[in-house]
Amino acid sequence: MDTNVVSSPLAEVACDWLIVTVSESSDFATSISALDAELGGRLTRLREAGDLTGKAGETLEIRDALEAGPRRIMAVGLGDEAEFSIAGIYKSLMTAVRKISSREYEHVATALPVIDSLDPDRLV
């Protein structure tokens, strides 16, 4: 397995699956908002319809994402930002990975959340 770290707009990441994280707050992170714009507001519409809640471990698949960039997107909820922990983020990401691991894919990318501050008591 090869691992690469890249910094680019999410809509430009060429991959079979792009795993993105969302919280329960009504606002998407800047990178997710930019991806949503490339998707024609699909994530916003899914959130407004109650299909994309951001609850911890909840997943939503978009299988016809973009022709250039990610072919499929898996959004996984991280829960309430005030309750974020490293263990909780790991558990949510692993839920998404398990959902897509039934088939072999050549390129899977994960957009890790940007966390301004994390209480040291919640590091584990």
Topology adopted by domain 23-114 = Leucine Aminopeptidase, subunit E; domain 1 (3.40.220)
Domain residue ranges in the chain? 23-114
The more confident residue out of 103 and 45 is 45
Query: What is the rounded CA–CA span in Å between residue 72 and residue 63?
Result: 5
By C-alpha distance, which of 28, 81, 22, 85 is closest to 54? 22
> Torsions phi, psi of 114, nearest 5?
-95, 120
Confidence of residue 118 (pLDDT cuts 50, 70, 90): low
User: pTM value?
Assistant: 0.87
Q: For the segment 64-117, what is each residue's pLDDT rounded down to a tens digit?
A: 988 889 999 999 999 998 888 888 999 999 999 999 988 888 899 999 877 666
Separation of alpha carbons 19 and 15, rounded Å: 10
Residue 67 to residues 7, 21, 78, 100, 101, Cα–Cα distance (Å): 20, 21, 27, 19, 22
- 45 — pLDDT class (breaks 50, 70, 90): very high
- Of 4, 15, 26, 117, which is closest to residue 70 (Cα–Cα)? 15
